[in-house]
A and B are shown apart, each in its own frame.
Chain A
Amino acid sequence: MEGRSIDREWKKGSAELLLLSLLEAVPRHGYELGKLIERRSEGALRFHAASLYPLLYRLEKRGWIQGRWVEKSGQRRRRYYRLTAPGRKVLASQRQGWQTFVEAIGRIVGVENA
């Protein structure tokens, strides 16, 4: 189906926003993030681990998120990422930008269709 294949560039541009949004409420580990994106987009978006983790490291390096090894009983330890205060600000502004972008696109695309 045409509609289900979203362009790779789109994905890349919005990936940061997706990760930051998912970390807004609770800290999550990488696998969980990947699964959530896949599930909530109903399969439309899928992150390859080879892109997901480098992106997480990039965000961590920028100081927007912070990873921490957490050991839970009976499990291997996992690295959980949480949103930092600067990350929160970035998220707010990116979200705003995205909204504006989507509305702008929507107006153009909508007018053409109408």
Chain B
Amino acid sequence: MPDCSEQIRQQLAGLNLAPTREAEIVEELAQHAEDRYRELVSGGATEAEARRAALDEVGGHELLARELRAVEPADAPEPIVLGAGSKAHLLTGLGQDLRYGFRTLRKNPGFTAVAMLALALGIGANTAVFSVVNGVLLRPLAYPDAGRLLMIYETTAEFSQSSVAYLNFLDWRRESRSFADMATYRGDDLNFTGAGQPEQVSGEYVSASLFPVLGAAPFLGRGFLPEEDRQGAACAVILSYGFWKGRLGADPNVLGKPLTLNAVSCAVVGVLPQDFRFRENPRVYVPIEQWTSAELRTREEHPGLRVIGRLKPGATLEAAQAEIASIASALSRQYPKTNAGHGVKLVRMKDDIVGYIRPTLLLLVGAVGFVLIIACANVANLLLARATARQREFAIRAALGADRKRVVRQLLTESVLLSVGGATIGLLLARWGTSLVLAAAPGSVPRAGEIGIDPYVLLFTLAVSVATGVLFGLAPALHSANANAQESLKEGARGAGGGRHRAEGVFVAVEIGLAVILLAGAGLMIESLWRLWQVEPGFNTRNILTTKVALSPKVMASPPGIRLAYQQLLERVAAIPGAQSAAITSVVPLSENDVEIPFWPGTGPQPAQDRMTSAMFYIVTTDYLRVMQIPLRRGRFFTDRDDLGSPPVVVIDDVLARHVFPGQDPVGRQMSIMVVGPVQIAGVVGHVKHWGLDSDDTAKVRDQIYFPVMQVPDKFLSEAVAGLTLMLRTGLEPLSLVSAVRAQVAGPTQDQPIYAVRTMEQIIARSLAQRRFTMLVLIIFAGTALLLAAVGIYGVMSYAVTRRSHEIGIRTALGASRGEIVGLVLRQGMRLAAIGMAAGLVAALALTRFMAGLLYGVRPADPATLAAVTLLLGGIALLACYIPARRAAAVDAVVALRCE
């Protein structure tokens, strides 16, 4: 029976059926005709009669078409051809592509899961980094027109960015024309009493101009009036939203009510909105003129005041810089004693807050890009492998009339579907991972509260996912579309082109190369941190509890009361079981606080400001050395006899000793300290790395002077003791003593709170937070890269083994041993790995130079690190090849050959 498909097809031609549907109907009816023919022939009809009858049944007249028209819907006439079609055409095709893509992905859950996971890791990591970059670097500060906000610093010979003397600020503000206005502020802890237990609240002394300069206004009440920011004015206070809500129960009638801060009654005039952010988000704001310190009235001192200015519209930073500089130089002519050599430096507020972290974040952007490329290479490889398996499908589609563009588009739709799916998971990973990493390294990133998933991040993720979908889908798609339809159909299930294996090898080598770079970066950061942990800070960091203490407001009024209160407090605390010794200090090393004071040798008159050098100044009690276990080099430390009745003494560190008294014994010599006056040097102690384990060696001011609390003159005492820190050396875990310390500090009157409790080790960890953050993120990226690269090489080798099982079978049949087969596969895989590692090492040598600034004690091209990285990666690659190699060795020659 000749095939009558053609006649049937002619019958259906007018119906415009979908090609696949038409093919089915034709096949079914042709089968029917054939059955009929056979039956007729076996019943005795001649072949010609039988053929005619059979044909008559299925294709002889219009009936079939008429009946079918009522049942079968017409379809577009032909497979859609991209390019020439109209818009509607394009969209129909797209819908079809999407539907088909979904179905294909659903049919291969294993492939889809692995590919999506790789993409989720890659895209998720990129989303995470972008959300940080977006929140920290890109997004403007949360003030209106924030680009016009500038920080104004003073500069001296010793400090490129010094805080500002209040009187200088007032002169700048009065004389400058470039700024709409300027404001100053200074953070301080305030003693809040009169509402139950006394409490230290973080406060900010601010000029009345601060809120207008920032462009912020209270949502309840008003900002400060200029007359509230004058000496002798009644105290006013503006509350943060958090304080108002948490501490005052969101009292709607709070305006005008008094709060007692530092024993002064302050009337509430405003409450700031919930989303207002400023610095460390202080709880209360008080006019700067309420700060009673004498330091406010002299140009000599720079008591931590910062100045912020809002440029007038149209004014530039450069012009403002020139203007303030000329004002400053006029001031230094006018007040040579205090202002000689002082300049100014303007910094954009955003740069001031986030500038230091930019290099780190850019490094991470680069690193995370590599992770994405690795993920793409991985998925491209998976797609290539699958494309080979689908060769027949494409050949059939091509034979049915689909053109090359159409196939490419179908494949790209599938890969974009994959990457968008991966991105969705990645978005969740990013959200979760970002908060996890930020929590693991607190304080490492500024503006951390503003990091999150916003529309820009979503847009970024979408763009990245579509771009990656096209990127990793393109090579496999082009490869598939180029496949020769006839060849593929002839070759059957075993079909594969040579190009694919080359591409696969390249992808794997690229993955391994990039993994080397990331591992090298992570390795260098680990090495840096490890070296930093080895740095001796100059004291014993273990088992020290630090906490700020506030004395009872009742004793603060009288200096002898203050001294007695401290003595008793230390005695009570030292008696706690588990406590070994206790001391008080004005400044804690490595805590980001510092006080510098100018000094000069001898007892002569004070030289000009620019002739003096500064030293770090610590006001401490007698047991400080014992608590910190700082070594005593010469002379003695303070004793109880060093009080107001005896001549003032200081203890200096060996850096100052070498610097000012080279080759001499400084003990017993005189020196002079600004404000304090002439003092005698009682002893020399070891240097403490106050500025940080990494940066102390390069700091400009390293000399250190210790001064006994008990010798602080009465008039400075109450100010000097505000915010002192209790240091307690313990024999037990320091934090286990916190409640005992709290009870003992509270004292008989129960009104002396402790706050800001930390161990010394926590302070040190925090000083390394940013490096730790960088290291942590790089380790995560490198780990991901390693995993993806291992999966990549494993996949390629597994596939190669499957493909070569025939050849391996022949080799085994010809007498190759298991070892030889394993060696064969390992050699092939390790050759790829070696190429990748070599290229990666070269690239790592070039790229790690850019992270030189983030390293400590290790060169970017550290041979040990690079060797370790190579070994690690080589080991993983070997393992990833070994599993398929073993499987290859297990190939049964008979089975492999029979498959043919």
The closest CB in chain B to the CB of A59 belongs to B71
Question: Measured between C-beta atoms, what is the minimum distance from B343 to chain A in Å?
Answer: 87
Question: Measured between C-beta atoms, what is the minimum distance from A31 to chain B in Å?
Answer: 4
Q: Does B57 lie at the interface of the complex (its beta carbon under 8 Å from any beta carbon of A)?
A: yes
Contact of A76 with B57 in the complex, beta carbons under 8 Å: no
Which residues of chain A have C-beta atoms less than 8 A from B33's C-beta? 49
Contact of A49 with B71 in the complex, beta carbons under 8 Å: no
Binary CB contact string for chain B from 47 to 83 against chain A (1 if under 8 A, 0 otherwise): 0000000000110010110011011100000000000
Question: Measured between C-beta atoms, what is the minimum distance from B60 to chain A in Å?
Answer: 8
Which residues of chain A have C-beta atoms less than 8 A from B72's C-beta? 54, 57
Question: Measured between C-beta atoms, what is the minimum distance from A32 to chain B in Å?
Answer: 9
The closest CB in chain A to the CB of B72 belongs to A57
Contact of B25 with A53 in the complex, beta carbons under 8 Å: yes
Q: Does B800 lie at the interface of the complex (its beta carbon under 8 Å from any beta carbon of A)?
A: no
Question: Measured between C-beta atoms, what is the minimum distance from B264 to chain A in Å?
Answer: 84
Question: Measured between C-beta atoms, what is the minimum distance from B22 to chain A in Å?
Answer: 12
Contact of A50 with B61 in the complex, beta carbons under 8 Å: yes
Q: Which of A48-90 contact B (CB under 8 A)?
A: 48-51, 53-55, 57-58, 61, 76-79
Which residues of chain B have C-beta atoms less than 8 A from A54's C-beta? 64, 67-68, 70-72
Binary CB contact string for chain A from 22 to 38 against chain B (1 if under 8 A, 0 otherwise): 00000001110010000
Question: Measured between C-beta atoms, what is the minimum distance from B400 to chain A in Å?
Answer: 18
Residue from the list A31, A58, A76 in contact with B71, Cβ < 8 A: A58
Residue from the list A49, A51, A57, A61 in contact with B32, Cβ < 8 A: A49
Residue from the list B29, B31, B67 in contact with A76, Cβ < 8 A: B31
Q: Does B34 lie at the interface of the complex (its beta carbon under 8 Å from any beta carbon of A)?
A: yes
Known: A31-B31, A31-B35, A49-B32. A57 touches B57 (CB 8 A): no
Which residues of chain A have C-beta atoms less than 8 A from B64's C-beta? 49-50, 53-54
Which residues of chain B have C-beta atoms less than 8 A from A76's C-beta? 31, 34
Contact of B32 with A48 in the complex, beta carbons under 8 Å: no
Cα–Cα, bound, A69→B24 (Å): 10
Contact of A31 with B68 in the complex, beta carbons under 8 Å: no
Q: Does B491 lie at the interface of the complex (its beta carbon under 8 Å from any beta carbon of A)?
A: no
Contact of A57 with B31 in the complex, beta carbons under 8 Å: no
Which residues of chain A have C-beta atoms less than 8 A from B58's C-beta? 49-50
Contact of B63 with A48 in the complex, beta carbons under 8 Å: yes
Residue from the list A34, A50, A79 in contact with B28, Cβ < 8 A: A79
The closest CB in chain B to the CB of A55 belongs to B67
Which residues of chain B have C-beta atoms less than 8 A from A49's C-beta? 29, 32-33, 36, 57-58, 64
Cα–Cα, bound, A12→B64 (Å): 15
The closest CB in chain A to the CB of B68 belongs to A54
Which residues of chain B have C-beta atoms less than 8 A from A77's C-beta? 27
Question: Measured between C-beta atoms, what is the minimum distance from B602 to chain A in Å?
Answer: 106
The closest CB in chain A to the CB of B58 belongs to A49
Contact of A53 with B57 in the complex, beta carbons under 8 Å: no
Question: Measured between C-beta atoms, what is the minimum distance from B5 to chain A in Å?
Answer: 12
Cα–Cα, bound, A48→B57 (Å): 7
The closest CB in chain B to the CB of A30 belongs to B32
Residue from the list B27, B32, B63 in contact with A31, Cβ < 8 A: B32
Contact of A30 with B28 in the complex, beta carbons under 8 Å: yes
Residue from the list B34, B36, B63, B71 in contact with A57, Cβ < 8 A: B71
Question: Measured between C-beta atoms, what is the minimum distance from B773 to chain A in Å?
Answer: 60
The closest CB in chain B to the CB of A58 belongs to B71
Contact of B29 with A57 in the complex, beta carbons under 8 Å: no
Cα–Cα, bound, A60→B67 (Å): 15
Which residues of chain B have C-beta atoms less than 8 A from A58's C-beta? 70-71
Contact of B63 with A50 in the complex, beta carbons under 8 Å: yes
Question: Measured between C-beta atoms, what is the minimum distance from B66 to chain A in Å?
Answer: 8
Cα–Cα, bound, A29→B70 (Å): 22
Question: Measured between C-beta atoms, what is the minimum distance from A51 to chain B in Å?
Answer: 6
Which residues of chain A have C-beta atoms less than 8 A from B29's C-beta? 49, 53
Which residues of chain B have C-beta atoms less than 8 A from A79's C-beta? 24, 27-28, 31
Residue from the list A30, A51, A61, A78 in contact with B63, Cβ < 8 A: A51
Known: A57-B71, A57-B72. A50 touches B25 (CB 8 A): no
Question: Measured between C-beta atoms, what is the minimum distance from B706 to chain A in Å?
Answer: 92
Which residues of chain A have C-beta atoms less than 8 A from B63's C-beta? 48, 50-51
Contact of A50 with B36 in the complex, beta carbons under 8 Å: no
Known: A58-B71, A76-B31. A31 touches B57 (CB 8 A): no
Cα–Cα, bound, A49→B37 (Å): 13
Question: Measured between C-beta atoms, what is the minimum distance from B166 to chain A in Å?
Answer: 86
Contact of B28 with A51 in the complex, beta carbons under 8 Å: no
Question: Measured between C-beta atoms, what is the minimum distance from B416 to chain A in Å?
Answer: 32
Which residues of chain B have C-beta atoms less than 8 A from A48's C-beta? 57, 63
Cα–Cα, bound, A31→B64 (Å): 15
The closest CB in chain B to the CB of A31 belongs to B35
Which residues of chain A have C-beta atoms less than 8 A from B70's C-beta? 54, 58
Known: A31-B36, A57-B68. A78 touches B31 (CB 8 A): yes
Which residues of chain B have C-beta atoms less than 8 A from A57's C-beta? 25, 68, 71-72
Cα–Cα, bound, A54→B63 (Å): 10
Contact of A53 with B31 in the complex, beta carbons under 8 Å: no
Question: Measured between C-beta atoms, what is the minimum distance from B395 to chain A in Å?
Answer: 20
Cα–Cα, bound, A58→B67 (Å): 10
Cα–Cα, bound, A65→B210 (Å): 80
Contact of B67 with A50 in the complex, beta carbons under 8 Å: yes
Question: Measured between C-beta atoms, what is the minimum distance from A20 to chain B in Å?
Answer: 16
Closest 8 CB pairs of A and B: A54-B67, A50-B64, A50-B63, A31-B35, A57-B71, A49-B57, A58-B71, A49-B58
- Offer 27 A-B interface pairs, CB within 8 angstroms, sorted by A: A29-B31, A31-B32, A31-B36, A34-B32, A49-B29, A49-B33, A49-B58, A50-B58, A50-B67, A51-B63, A53-B67, A54-B64, A54-B68, A54-B70, A55-B67, A57-B68, A57-B71, A58-B70, A58-B71, A61-B71, A76-B31, A76-B34, A77-B27, A78-B31, A79-B24, A79-B27, A79-B31
Listed in ascending order, the chain B residues whose CB lies under 8 Å from chain A are: 24-25, 27-29, 31-36, 57-58, 61, 63-64, 67-68, 70-72
Q: Can you name 14 extra interface pairs (CB under 8 A) apart from A49-B33, A76-B34, A79-B31?
A: A31-B35, A49-B36, A49-B57, A49-B64, A50-B64, A51-B67, A53-B67, A54-B64, A54-B67, A54-B71, A57-B72, A58-B70, A77-B27, A78-B31
